[in-house]
Amino acid sequence: MAWFKKVRKPIEPPDKQSRVPEGLWVKCPSCGQIIYNKDLAESLSVCTKCGHHFRLTATERLRSLFDGPWTKHDPNLTSTDPLQFVDTKPYRKRLEASIASTGLRDAVIAATGRINGIETVVAAMDYGFIGGSMGVVVGEKVTRAIERAIAGRLPVVIVSCSGGARMMEGTLSLMQMAKISAALARLDRARLPYVSILTDPTTGGVTASFAMLGDVNIAEPRALIGFAGPRVIEQTIRQKLPEGFQRSEFLLEHGMLDIVVDRRELKDLLTRILRFGLPTARVQPSAATPANVPVTADVSRQ
């Protein structure tokens, strides 16, 4: 028996209260630079020191592309949990939590607005909503957006940011790949341009369908783009994967993408592509131009 007893106090958890207000400063995960939140917002969430691209929400994405306000399409579509799916927790609970945290009803916003004056239908995915996964609602909203573009003779831009198909909706989520692809084929037959923008991350069934079907496929720098994860591939082919595998630059080098562009230059690039892809008469329908006279000069809409 000990003569003296040392009273051990439990180690106190570190003082969590920071003197800096929450969310005022952000640390760049790539270079460690501390960035003032407002500066980051001004540079479209790109680190001004190293060019690291922070992930954008769907709303931030639309704000970065459109000139002004936009019209949302089908904002109230929600999943009905058709399989009554339960994994570690019920799918219904996951949906409720995501709706509460993001303010969205599902992982995509479809909207019509103007990109440097060109009326365009844009669908932007939100990673914050169950990993930006594509379920029935995402499939339906994207398909309707494309159909709306065909009806109004407008170009389509889809910004992907997704972990792939939503497994909680089983095969119903996989069917969206075919559904969206078929709608894009109709858009193609209507001779309207579709630009796909792949952001970090774009994987699984989204890569395997509409993200790679653009007339032009654009990616943001260092974005993870792939179908299966690198570990699964390594185990299957029993080989070590090369450096930078499944990143935008690697895919560009191997012919899977057309352009890798800094987010701050994305809107201007998109404008040039849309102008190029749309017949001039459609970029700016002119009453002075008779329908049977070929239009030769590009009429800017700005």
Among residues 52 and 94, whose Cβ is nearest to Zn ion? 52
Alpha helices (H) along the chain: 37-42, 58-65, 91-102, 136-152, 170-189, 204-207, 230-237, 248-253, 263-277, 280-283
CB of 247 to Zn ion, least distance (A): 16
Among residues 50 and 83, whose Cβ is nearest to Zn ion? 50
CA 252, 257, 263, 265 torsion-angle sign: positive
Among residues 50 and 232, whose Cβ is nearest to Zn ion? 50
Provide the b/e sequence for 98-108 (b: ≥16 CB within 10 Å). beeebebbbbb
CB of 76 to Zn ion, least distance (A): 38
Among residues 32 and 279, whose Cβ is nearest to Zn ion? 32
CA–CA distance, 77 with 168 (Å, rounded to integer): 17
CB of 52 to Zn ion, least distance (A): 4
CB of 46 to Zn ion, least distance (A): 9
Among residues 52 and 166, whose Cβ is nearest to Zn ion? 52
CB of 26 to Zn ion, least distance (A): 10
With helix as H, strand as E and coil as C, how does 123-177 read?
EEECCCCHHHCECHHHHHHHHHHHHHHHHHCCCEEEEEEECCECHHHHHHHHHHH
Which residues here bind Zn ion, judged by CB under 5 A?
28, 30-31, 33, 47, 49-50, 52
